[in-house]
């Protein structure tokens, strides 16, 4: 792709005392060499050497600040308000992007004009930065508003989600800071009111699993409680959801895997997935 055709991508990294991982996160963004990047770091007043790391790369940043804030989602709001990129995302200070992921996301949005929100293949990093995958259902990385409302124990992987600014504006252009942990989930619910989420088999970003001080693990119960509160407000048609759960039970006893998965995809209203084809390149696929 020519440089002129590359959209501006705005990435916000909220950070607080994550010096152990922060440089790897920064390099996963800047090291891609994406020429139309708007990278913003909002640090909450770290005292562990994070600021020295940020200063090391400040010439390549669109903006950065280190000052006390009200937590992760307040930092994100500050960062997004500073941004202007037509494609948006955030990457926490211990997670990483895969090589060429920004070029990939630019091509995905460029090729599929109707796609306004996309999630990459779920990937993870261990503490040393090694990438790995979890086994998953064939439809496990495809989402619909209904599937999110059913809350089946899986999550949209925030680290690999990108969206167009038009969707952000339509959904109100804000991060709801009333939720200490699940504001990402609240944002997804809002996005689903306007647009369906597409997924792709391309690897974009990954979540780092750590053994210490990881809120998503240590406070999982609180996160799930916030999810349930949000879903209680969202789920006005409880009967529809109950019937859907019953239908899923019956579908799952169908012995033939292909038929079972096709029926589940149909029931949940999952959109096609963007995959790589040797002849067509990036293409939409709705079969297994």
CA distance 10 to 106: 12
Locate the domains of the chain by residue range.
Answer: 7-285
**What pLDDT digit, counting tens, does each position of 86-127 carry?**
999 999 999 999 999 999 999 999 999 999 999 999 999 988
Half-sphere exposure of 7 (CA within 13 A, CB side): 22
Q: What is the pLDDT of residue 164?
A: 98
pLDDT at 130: 92
Label residue 169 by pLDDT band (50, 70, 90).
Answer: very high
The mean pLDDT value for 128-153 works out to 81
Token pair in block for residue 236:
């006005």
- Write out the CATH class of domain 7-285: alpha beta
Is 1's pLDDT higher than 60?
no
pLDDT of residue 186: 95
Listed in order, strand segments (DSSP E) in 112-263 are 117-119, 123-125, 131-132, 161-164, 198-200, 205-208
Per-residue pLDDT at 213? 61
Cα distances (Å, whole numbers) of residue 91 to 135, 158, 181, 197, 282: 23, 8, 15, 19, 24
Q: What is the dihedral of CA 31, 33, 35, 39, to 10 degrees?
A: -10
The 10s digit of each residue's pLDDT in 217-271 is: 567 788 888 888 888 887 667 788 889 999 999 998 998 888 888 898 899 999 9
């Amino acid at each position: 792709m020519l440089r002129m055709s590359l959209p501006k991508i705005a990435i916000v990294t909220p950070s607080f005392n994550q010096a152990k991982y922060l440089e790897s996160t920064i390099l996963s963004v800047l090291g891609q060499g994406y020429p139309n990047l708007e990278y913003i770091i909002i640090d909450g007043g770290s005292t562990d050497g994070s600021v020295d790391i940020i200063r090391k790369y400040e010439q390549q940043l669109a903006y950065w600040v280190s000052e006390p804030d009200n937590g992760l989602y307040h930092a994100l709001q500050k960062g997004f308000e500073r941004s202007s990129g037509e494609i948006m995302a955030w990457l926490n200070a211990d997670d990483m992007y895969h090589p060429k992921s920004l070029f990939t996301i630019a091509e995905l949005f460029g090729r599929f004009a109707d796609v306004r929100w996309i999630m990459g293949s779920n990937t993870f990093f261990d503490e040393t930065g090694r990438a790995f995958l979890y086994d998953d259902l064939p439809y496990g990385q495809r989402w619909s508003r209904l599937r999110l409302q059913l809350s089946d124990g899986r999550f949209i992987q925030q680290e690999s989600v990108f969206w167009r600014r038009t969707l952000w504006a339509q959904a109100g252009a804000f991060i709801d800071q009333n939720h200490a942990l699940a504001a990402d989930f609240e944002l997804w619910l809002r996005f689903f009111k306007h647009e369906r989420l597409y997924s792709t088999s391309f690897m974009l970003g990954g979540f780092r699993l750590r053994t210490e001080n990881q809120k998503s693990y240590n406070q999982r119960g609180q996160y799930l409680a916030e999810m349930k509160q949000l879903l209680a407000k969202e789920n006005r048609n409880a009967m529809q959801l109950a019937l859907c759960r019953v239908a899923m039970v019956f579908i799952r006893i169908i012995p033939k895997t292909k038929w079972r998965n096709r029926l589940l995809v149909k029931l949940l209203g999952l959109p096609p997935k963007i995959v790589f084809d040797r002849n067509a390149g990036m293409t939409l696929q709705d079969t297994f």
